[in-house]
Amino acid sequence: MTQLPTPAQDPDAWIMDNPPSKKWPLYTRGNVGEVFPEVVLPLSWDAYGQEAEDGWRDGYRDLGLLVEGDFDDDEPMIILGVFGGYAYINASYVRMLGLRAPGGSIDVIDMQFFGESDAPSYVSRKGDKNLKSSALLGKTVFKLLGTKNLPELEDDKAAVQAFIKSYPGQNATDDQLLGHLLDLKPLFRRLFARHIGNTMGAALMSGALNDLLVKVDMADQLVSLLGGIGDVESAAPSSAMWKLAHSEHDPESEEWQADFGAFLDEFGSRGPNEWDLGSDPWEFRPELALAAIDRMRGADASHAPHTQAMRLASERTTAVSKARHKLNFLDKRMFDKALRATSVYSQGRERSKTTIVAAIQSGRRAARELGRRAAERGGPSDIIACCLLTLDELSDFMKAPAQWEQTLTQRRELHERLSGLIPPFIFEGEIPPIDTWESRSSTADSVIVGQKLQGIAGCPGFAQGRAVVVTDPADPRDLGPGDVLVAPITDPSWTPLFLAAEAVVVDVGATMSHAVIVSRELGIPCVVSTVGATRTIPDGAKITVDGNTGEVTVIELP
């Protein structure tokens, strides 16, 4: 079993909290907030938190970034961390990719992974620059530029299918179900290392692409070059929902229900907070998918994914032609390779994520079955209570679940309290005390007519519409044609709502965030890292969204 970190003796400390790194002290919610948007459940983090850290280290080592001396042996968690119950990424170390990679830039890395924030500027330290790492990264960049496909992703899919088939079923013993959860550990590490390799490959290649565009004063065309690349698996559920929403069959008919069943068979592992074992993806709560499909029904054909794909392909072709015309011969060859590799690794990043989520779903089935049995044995009635326990605790819990009532009550209360707070987006050194965190129910001063909010351009396009502030993807309210979706953060459960809106504005995010990648594939104008948008833009305000410049303008208040 993983040796869990011991949190400080603090009533606010979540059981999975760990100390921040002393050598690498800067942490951010950027990027990881899309994967773990809520307080992480103990069973999930014990099952693959350390494996995510180790897999990330494997990925960094394969790239050439991580070299001997970077990490101290007494800090098992550095790249990732849990503070106040929320998952964070180490920003100090990710910045080394910009510092050490040939032609890299810390500013570009910050923008790709964390977006707009009040992060402190990088201060040079002895040992940060590393010639060995730079040489290895240089080799990696050269190799990445030659990438045409990623056949290893099919091997990973096969491994996950084998894992899913190994699920012991409802007639299994408790130990067999627990064993299935334990079997997820080594598989997760392997899959996550691949995911990190693809993510960093996309970051390095898009950085190279951006450098070439800067040479010819076309940096603003990067979003157009990366729009509508095709075969982005995270966008596939949205496209499938669109077909269901505009099906010739009545939603009450057997034909439509059969089609929806096929949708759940293929995409049932997706949904809100899909990386956590205690969440309810579409397989378990199909009404969430039905709500998104219902919001799409009013959208006209101009919103259709295939229509948008054609538009984006045309814009992409134009941007490519213009850039190639301006570049010299050698840069033109580099541009072609970087563009192809960026597309391949962007697709690979989303494909590897989908594969991981499918593996987690099989572990989730085991956890739910154990929870069902515990309820029958006098334990709590909610079958995800076991997710509030670690793997070791779960084994003991199954023997006498009623004896764990006090522990579970305490954890539920703390979980509820932490869930009602907004964790700091970025911090350095020590996480600010919990009692200084802002409440999710607090409000901020509203914007005024003419005020502009500056974010990061996600997907090109210009839109105008009524702002609909949505804080829960399960409750899209009356979002529909003519509206702009304003959201705090987006994981895959949000993206089907994109197709019902004219544009998307997100509080946080970066150029590598899920909202950006999917909006580019679906052709929805998108601006991310629009800090405080959900709390300052009144519901019903008329706004414009410029997906080319990242500017959101208030033109009328409700």
pLDDT band of 2, cuts 50, 70, 90? very low
pLDDT band of 105, cuts 50, 70, 90? confident
Computed over every residue of the chain, the mean pLDDT equals: 91
The neighbour count for residue 173, using CB atoms within 10 Å, is 9
Q: What is the pLDDT of residue 116?
A: 60
Check whether 233 has a pLDDT greater than 90: no
Q: What is the pLDDT of residue 3?
A: 38
pLDDT band of 5, cuts 50, 70, 90? very low
Check whether 473 has a pLDDT greater than 90: no
Check whether 4 has a pLDDT greater than 70: no
Report how far residue 515's alpha carbon sits from residue 465's, in angstroms, rounded to the nearest whole number: 19
40 close to 86: Cβ distance less than 8 angstroms: yes
pLDDT band of 352, cuts 50, 70, 90? very high
What's the pLDDT tens digit per position in 264-287?
999 999 988 899 999 999 999 999
Q: What is the pLDDT of residue 9?
A: 53
Report how far residue 510's alpha carbon sits from residue 528's, in angstroms, rounded to the nearest whole number: 6
Q: What is the pLDDT of residue 111?
A: 77
Q: Residues 416, 291, 413, CA angle at the centre, nearest 5°?
A: 5
DSSP state of 26: E
pLDDT band of 117, cuts 50, 70, 90? low
Q: What is the pLDDT of residue 483?
A: 95
Most confident of the ranges 25-39, 42-56, 224-238 = 42-56
Residue showing tokens 């998108």: 526
Check whether 51 has a pLDDT greater than 60: yes
Check whether 490 has a pLDDT greater than 90: no
DSSP state of 482: T
What's the pLDDT tens digit per position in 305-327?
888 888 888 889 999 999 999 99
Residue 427: which residues within 8 A CB-CB, separation 6 or more?
26, 27, 83
Give per-residue burial for 351-363: e unless 16+ CB within 10 Å, then b.
Answer: bbbbbbbbbbbbb
Kind of pairing, strands 438-439 and 483-487?
A: unpaired
Q: For 66-106, give the DSSP string.
A: --TTSS-TT-S-SSEEEETTEEEEEHHHHHHHHHHSTT--H
Check whether 522 has a pLDDT greater than 90: no
Check whether 548 has a pLDDT greater than 90: no
More confident residue, 384 or 185: 185
Q: What is the pLDDT of residue 89?
A: 94
How much is the average pLDDT of 480-499? Answer: 86
Q: What is the pLDDT of residue 545?
A: 96
pLDDT band of 8, cuts 50, 70, 90? very low
DSSP state of 122: P
More confident residue, 308 or 514: 308
pLDDT band of 113, cuts 50, 70, 90? confident
Kind of pairing, strands 80-83 and 86-90?
A: antiparallel
Check whether 491 has a pLDDT greater than 80: no
Give per-residue burial for 473-486: e unless 16+ CB within 10 Å, then b.
Answer: beebeebbeebbbb
Question: Which pair of structure tokens corresponds to residue 444?
Answer: 């901020």
Smallest Cα–Cα separation from 238: which of 305, 294, 186? Answer: 305
What's the pLDDT tens digit per position in 410-436?
999 999 999 999 999 889 999 999 999
Report how far residue 256's alpha carbon sits from residue 459's, in angstroms, rounded to the nearest whole number: 32
Report how far residue 63's alpha carbon sits from residue 81's, in angstroms, rounded to the nearest whole number: 22
